[in-house]
C-alpha cells in the first residue's frame, strides 16, 4: 500500500446563514492513493459536493468555517493561504462539474479557455499552448480537434462540452481529478461514453479520480472505493464490490432497496426510505439516520455512532454490532421484510 495522495482528516464545513449555522460537512475523513478511484455517493444535502469544492477552497468566504485537514502531497489544503492554494488548483487537483454548458464561459472559444488553463500555471507561448490544447481535445475523443478549438461552447453538443471540460482539467496533468456529478446532465448513451473516458484516462495517466454522484450505478462502474454520505457524514465506506454485495449500513440498505433495477423480478415493490434527511442546522442527538431507520433502538437516539473499521478495508458508522448487520442483508437483498430483518439485527434478547 503506497502513501496516500490526498488524506482528508476530520473535515468540517459550516455556513453562516440567516437561519442559523448549516453544518454541511461534519467531520469527514477519507484518503485516496495515486491512480486510485473513490466514489462519494449521497443524496442532495448530504455534503458530497460541498466537501469536494472545499478541497479546492471554492467554498471559502466570510460566511464559511472550515476545520480539519486535507493533506495533499505534504501540505494542508485547509490551512493553505489563497495564493498557494491557487497553485494547486488545476495543477495538482483539477475539477469538473455537473453542467458542462454553464461551466464553460459562453463568450470565449473552447480552445482559448483551455489555453488559458495551460498558461496560468506555466508560461507557454500561445502557439505551443494551442497545439497542446488540440492534443488534449484529441485525447478526450473530440474529432477534428484543431478545428474545434475555434468553436464556442454553444456550438458543441452536451457530451462534447463535458469532454472539453475534461480536456481543460487535464491540461496541467493533475494528480487528482474531482468529478462532481459529471454525467447527471447528460443522456444515458453519452453518460456511458464519458464514464468510460474517465476510466480510461485514470488508467492511462495514472491520475486519481474522486467521483461525486447521487447515482449508485455511476459509482459501481467507475469507483474502486465508495464512501456513502448522509447528513454531512460518511456512514459507510467499502471497496465497491463489497459495498454492493454486502452493504453494512441501514441507510445503504435503504438506498439499494429503493431503486428499481434492470434485472431480476420486475414487480418487486420498491421500498422507499420513509421520511427525509434531518435539518443540518439543528442536528438531532444520536444517530442522524435514527428517525428513518427501521432498526433503530433507544440507544441510537442518544449516542452518536462514529465511523469505525469493521472488516478489512471497510468502515461503517452504526451502533448495531456489524456481525448482526452482516447477517441481515442477504434476506433484505432478496426482498425480505424489514420486520424479519429486524429480528436478525436485534438478535436473541
Partner 1 sequence: MARYIARRLLWTVVLMFAVSVVTFIIFYVLPSADPAALRAGRHASPQQIEEIRHKYHLDKSLLDQLSFYFKGILLHGDFGISYVNDQPVAKLVFSRLPATISVAVGAAVLWLLSGVAIGIISAVRRHSKLDRATMSLALVGISAPVYWLGLVALYLFADDIGLIPLFGGSGSYQPITEDPLAWLNSMILPWVVLAVAFAAFYSRLLRGTLIEVMGEDYIRTARAKGLPERTVVMRHGVRSAITPIVTAFGLDLGALLGGAVLVEIVFNIPGIGRLAYDAILHSDLFLIQGTVLLAAFFVIGANLVVDVVYAYLDPRVRYE
Partner 2 sequence: MSEPLLRVTDLVKHFPITRGVVLQRQVGAVRAVDGVSFDVAQGETLGLVGETGCGKSTTARMLARLIDPTSGKIEFDGEDLAGLKGRALKDARRQIQMVFQDPYSSLNPRKRVGSIIEEPLRIHGLLSEGDARRKRVQELMDRVGLNPEHYNRFPHEFSGGQRQRIGVARAIALEPRLLIADEPVSALDVSIQAQILNLLKDLQKDMGLTIIFIAHDLSVVRHMCDRVAVMYLGKIAEIAPNEDLYAHPRHPYTEALLAAVPSPEPGRAGRARALLGGDVPSPANPPAACRFHTRCAYADAICSAEEPLLLQRDGSVAACHHPLSG
Closer Cβ to partner 2, 119 or 184, answer by number: 184
Joined together, the cell numbers standing for residue 44 give 442532495
Joined together, the cell numbers standing for residue 338 give 424489514
165 interface partner picked from partner 1, partner 2, none, CB below 5 to 8 A per type: partner 1
Q: Which of 273, 300, 318, 344 binds partner 2 (CB under 8 A)?
A: 273
Joined together, the cell numbers standing for residue 174 give 493533475
Counting contacts by CB under 8 A, is residue 189 touching partner 2? yes
Nearest distance from C-beta of residue 108 to partner 2, angstroms: 22
State the Cα–Cα distance between residues 349 and 320, nearest whole angstrom: 14
Nearest distance from C-beta of residue 181 to partner 1, angstroms: 12
CB 184 within 8 A of CB 161: no
Q: How far is CA 33 from CA 72, 187, 210, in A?
A: 11, 31, 11
Write out the residues near partner 1 by the rule CB under 8 A. 53, 56, 58, 82, 86-91, 94-95, 97, 99, 102-107, 116-117, 120-121, 152, 154, 165, 168
Closer Cβ to partner 2, 45 or 57, answer by number: 45
Contacts 24+ apart (CB under 8 A), 102-107: 103/165, 104/153, 104/161, 104/164, 104/165, 105/153, 106/152, 106/153, 106/154, 107/152
135 interface partner picked from partner 1, partner 2, none, CB below 5 to 8 A per type: none
Pairing mode, if any, of strands 233-239 and 225-230? antiparallel
240 interface partner picked from partner 2, partner 1, none, CB below 5 to 8 A per type: partner 2
Counting contacts by CB under 8 A, is residue 250 touching partner 2? no
164 interface partner picked from partner 1, partner 2, none, CB below 5 to 8 A per type: none
Query: How many residues contact partner 2, by CB under 8 A?
Result: 44
Q: Where is 96: in which H helix or E strand?
A: strand 93-96
Counting contacts by CB under 8 A, is residue 188 touching partner 2? yes
Helix, strand and coil percent figures for the chain, each rounded to 5: 40, 20, 40
Closer Cβ to partner 1, 114 or 197, answer by number: 114
Counting contacts by CB under 8 A, is residue 96 touching partner 2? no
Closer Cβ to partner 1, 182 or 278, answer by number: 182
CB 85 within 8 A of CB 72: no
190 interface partner picked from partner 2, partner 1, none, CB below 5 to 8 A per type: partner 2
Nearest distance from C-beta of residue 101 to partner 2, angstroms: 12
User: H-type helices in 223-321, by residue range?
Assistant: 240-245, 250-258
Q: Which of 68, 90, 111, 159 binds partner 2 (CB under 8 A)?
A: 159
Q: Which of 15, 108, 152, 244 binds partner 2 (CB under 8 A)?
A: 244
Nearest distance from C-beta of residue 250 to partner 1, angstroms: 35
CB 236 within 8 A of CB 227: yes
| Residues numbered 191-220 forming contacts with partner 2, rule: CB under 8 A | 191-193, 195-196, 214-220
Please, what is the end-to-end C-alpha distance for the chain in angstroms? 42
Counting contacts by CB under 8 A, is residue 272 touching partner 2? yes
CB 315 within 8 A of CB 242: no
Which residue, among 313, 305, 298, has the nearest Cα to 249 in the 3D structure?
305
State the Cα–Cα distance between residues 196 and 141, nearest whole angstrom: 11
Counting contacts by CB under 8 A, is residue 160 touching partner 2? yes
Q: What's the gap between Cα 191 and its chain centre?
A: 16
337 interface partner picked from partner 2, partner 1, none, CB below 5 to 8 A per type: none
Q: Which of 17, 122, 245, 337 binds partner 2 (CB under 8 A)?
A: 245
Q: Which residues bind partner 2 (CB under 8 A)?
A: 43-44, 157-160, 187-193, 195-196, 214-221, 240-241, 244-245, 254-256, 258-264, 266, 269-273, 276
Amino acid at each position: 500500500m503506497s502513501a496516500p495522495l490526498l488524506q482528508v482528516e476530520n473535515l468540517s464545513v459550516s455556513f453562516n446563514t440567516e437561519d442559523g449555522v448549516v453544518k454541511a460537512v461534519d467531520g469527514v475523513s477519507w484518503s485516496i492513493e495515486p491512480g486510485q478511484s473513490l466514489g462519494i455517493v449521497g443524496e442532495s444535502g448530504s455534503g458530497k459536493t460541498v466537501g469536494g469544492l472545499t478541497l479546492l477552497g471554492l467554498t471559502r468566504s466570510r460566511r464559511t468555517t472550515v476545520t480539519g485537514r486535507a493533506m495533499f502531497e505534504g501540505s494542508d489544503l485547509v490551512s493553505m493561504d489563497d495564493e498557494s492554494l491557487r497553485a494547486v488548483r488545476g495543477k495538482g487537483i483539477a475539477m469538473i462539474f455537473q453542467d458542462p454548458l454553464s461551466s464553460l464561459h459562453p463568450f470565449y472559444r473552447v480552445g482559448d479557455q483551455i489555453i488559458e488553463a495551460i498558461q496560468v500555471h506555466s508560461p507557454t507561448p500561445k502557439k505551443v499552448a494551442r497545439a497542446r490544447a488540440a492534443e488534449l481535445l484529441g485525447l478526450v475523443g473530440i474529432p477534428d480537434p484543431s478545428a474545434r478549438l475555434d468553436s464556442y461552447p454553444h456550438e458543441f453538443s452536451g457530451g462534447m462540452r463535458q469532454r472539453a471540460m475534461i480536456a481543460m482539467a487535464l491540461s496541467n496533468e493533475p494528480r487528482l481529478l474531482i468529478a462532481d456529478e459529471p454525467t447527471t446532465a447528460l443522456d444515458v448513451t453519452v453518460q456511458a461514453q464519458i464514464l468510460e473516458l474517465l476510466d480510461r484516462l485514470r488508467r492511462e495517466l495514472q491520475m486519481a479520480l474522486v467521483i461525486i454522484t447521487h447515482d449508485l450505478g455511476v459509482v459501481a462502474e467507475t469507483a474502486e472505493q465508495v464512501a456513502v454520505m448522509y447528513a454531512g457524514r460518511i456512514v459507510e465506506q467499502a471497496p465497491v464490490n463489497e459495498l454492493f454485495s454486502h452493504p453494512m449500513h441501514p441507510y445503504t440498505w435503504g438506498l439499494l432497496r429503493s431503486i428499481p433495477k434492470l434485472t431480476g423480478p420486475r414487480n418487486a415493490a420498491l421500498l422507499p426510505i420513509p421520511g427525509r434527511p434531518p435539518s443540518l442546522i439543528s442536528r438531532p442527538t444520536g444517530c442522524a439516520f435514527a428517525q428513518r431507520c427501521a432498526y433503530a433502538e433507544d440507544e441510537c437516539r442518544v449516542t452518536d455512532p462514529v465511523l469505525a473499521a469493521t472488516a478489512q478495508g471497510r468502515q461503517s458508522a452504526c451502533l448495531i454490532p456489524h456481525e448482526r448487520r452482516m447477517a441481515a442483508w442477504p434476506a433484505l437483498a432478496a426482498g425480505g421484510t424489514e420486520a424479519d430483518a429486524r429480528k436478525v439485527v436485534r438478535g436473541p434478547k
